[in-house]
């Protein structure tokens, strides 16, 4: 039996609704991840401050967990929001697991290329790589410390040519995509099994404790082998190049998991929408408009969402709380997952009531 969590007492019900969303079942309201400042923060020890030494602050995971729990104590997780911990150094860590050099900054970690270009790149897995040992050790630690308190999500490995860019450099990769596609196919064929080599032991560890897995960036917990796929580099390449050098490997990757979410990033990537939606194993499209664009709930993007829903996919969108009711009126409830933030617990509860289907014989509050 699934137990409640200290920071999410209705976690069993939230899991059921998330599972129904993945199956695109009709529900009384859309799935909504809404957080708010907790009316009464939960008492606990003061977390340690950051040292100001970025590498130490990222790698001292006991301190990372303590600081994260401090956030949980002050946060109310309503709807399908849940307290999640990710054992990772940020998006794209697969590149670092294959040799890309980490450049630690206060708020992020950059990955610098370890090969001169695609022709010199030969990808191989090393179980003894320090970052991999760190990941396994701290995944176990997060599960142990988080039992009954939080959910441990899978790291944002990232895959396909986005990872190749971290390994060989974006400029060198773009040139190779145009002039030496056979090199890209060679690397793609090498990279895909390495993604699964990283994914499998982490999935087994997390699912054994939690009966499923999630991807923290999009709070998309699923009752099975779940992963988020993407190709942000697709904004810089043509549809023909995407269809030849990227899409076949996404199709194969999606076929190897149970629940697949694709992160489509920015207007320049929309040209690949039809190809993305044709991936047989794809369940959900997550749309991120990008910096300087209208927010994810703006009517300007309804065409993207409708295309996904018409293709039998679910959708996930982030938007300000005031945009949510109109978005639900336009796009409906089935297969819809919304991420937002509320200024208070009362406002979050009010939102959940406002987007619920009217009760028979009555109206929404």
User: What is the CATH classification number for the domain harbouring 51?
Assistant: 3.20.20.210
Quick check: 216 pLDDT over 90?
no
pLDDT number for residue 365:
36
User: Is 203 a member of any domain?
Assistant: yes
Q: Which pLDDT tens digit goes with each residue over 119-129?
A: 999 999 999 99
Residue 1 resides in a domain: no
Q: At residue 54, does pLDDT exceed 80?
A: yes
Q: How confident is the model at residue 359 (pLDDT cuts 50, 70, 90)?
A: confident
Could you give the C-alpha distances from 208 to 10, 145, 218, in angstroms and in order? 21, 15, 22
Residue 45 lies in a domain: yes
- Mean pLDDT for the stretch of residues 1-20: 94
Task: Please name the helix (run of DSSP H) or strand (run of DSSP E) that holds residue 257, with its range, or none.
Answer: none
- Does the pLDDT at position 364 exceed 70? no
pLDDT given for residue 217 in this prediction: 80
Residue 186 domain-assigned (yes or no): yes
The pLDDT assigned to 363 comes to: 52
pLDDT at 361 over 70: no
SS3 content of the chain, % helix, strand, coil (to 5): 45, 15, 35
The crossing angle, in degrees rounded to 10, of helices 181-210 and 160-168 is 110
- What are the tens digits of pLDDT across the range 287-306? 999 989 999 999 999 999 99
Task: State which residues form the domain around 199.
Answer: 11-354
Return all residues near 200 (Cβ < 8 A) that are at least 6 apart. none
Does 177 reside within a domain?
yes
pLDDT digits (tens, 9 = 90+) for 335-351: 999 999 999 999 999 99
Interval 91-123: pLDDT, tens: 999 999 999 999 999 999 999 999 999 999 999
Q: Which residue has the higher pLDDT, 216 or 256?
A: 256
- The confidence score (pLDDT) of residue 360 equals 67
The answer to whether position 363 is within a domain reads: no
Is 41 domain-assigned? Answer: yes
Number of domains the chain is built from: 1
Q: Say if 338 falls within a structural domain.
A: yes
Tell me: pLDDT of 319 over 70: yes
Q: Please choose, from the candidates 62, 173, 66, the residue with its C-alpha nearest in 3D space to the C-alpha of residue 120.
A: 173
pTM score, whole prediction: 0.95
């Amino acid at each position: 039996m699934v137990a409640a969590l200290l920071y999410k007492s209705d976690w069993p019900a939230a899991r059921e609704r998330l599972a129904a969303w993945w199956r695109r079942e009709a529900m009384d309201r859309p799935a909504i991840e809404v957080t708010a400042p907790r009316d009464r923060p939960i008492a606990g020890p003061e977390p340690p401050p950051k040292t100001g030494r970025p590498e130490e602050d990222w790698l001292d995971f006991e301190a990372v967990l303590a600081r994260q729990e401090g956030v949980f104590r002050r946060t109310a997780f309503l709807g399908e929001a849940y307290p999640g911990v990710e054992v990772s150094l940020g998006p794209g860590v697969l590149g670092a697991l294959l040799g890309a050099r980490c450049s630690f900054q206060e708020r992020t970690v950059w990955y610098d290329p370890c090969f001169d270009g695609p022709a010199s790149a030969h990808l191989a897995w090393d179980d003894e790589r320090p970052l991999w040992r760190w990941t396994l050790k701290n995944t176990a630690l997060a599960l142990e410390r988080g039992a009954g308190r939080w959910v441990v999500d899978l790291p944002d490995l990232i895959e396909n040519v986005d990872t190749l860019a971290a390994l060989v450099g974006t400029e060198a990769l773009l040139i190779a995509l145009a002039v030496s596609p056979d090199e890209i196919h060679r690397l793609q064929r090498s990279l895909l099994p390495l993604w699964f080599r990283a994914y499998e032991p982490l999935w087994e560890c997390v699912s054994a404790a939690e009966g499923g897995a999630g991807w923290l960036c999009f709070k998309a917990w699923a009752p099975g082998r779940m992963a988020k796929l993407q190709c942000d580099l697709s904004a810089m390449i043509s549809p023909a190049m995407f269809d030849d050098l990227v899409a076949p490997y996404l199709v194969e990757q999606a076929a190897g998991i149970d629940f697949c979410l694709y992160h489509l990033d920015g207007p320049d990537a929309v040209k690949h929408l039809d190809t993305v939606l044709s991936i047989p194993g794809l369940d959900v499209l997550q749309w991120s408009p990008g910096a300087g664009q209208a927010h994810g709930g703006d009517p300007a993007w309804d065409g993207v969402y409708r295309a996904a829903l018409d293709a039998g996919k679910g959708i996930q969108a982030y938007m300000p709380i005031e945009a949510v009711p109109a978005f639900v009126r336009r796009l409906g409830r089935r297969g819809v997952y919304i991420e937002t933030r509320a200024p208070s617990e009362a406002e979050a509860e009010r939102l959940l009531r406002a987007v619920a289907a009217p009760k028979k014989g009555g109206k929404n509050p």
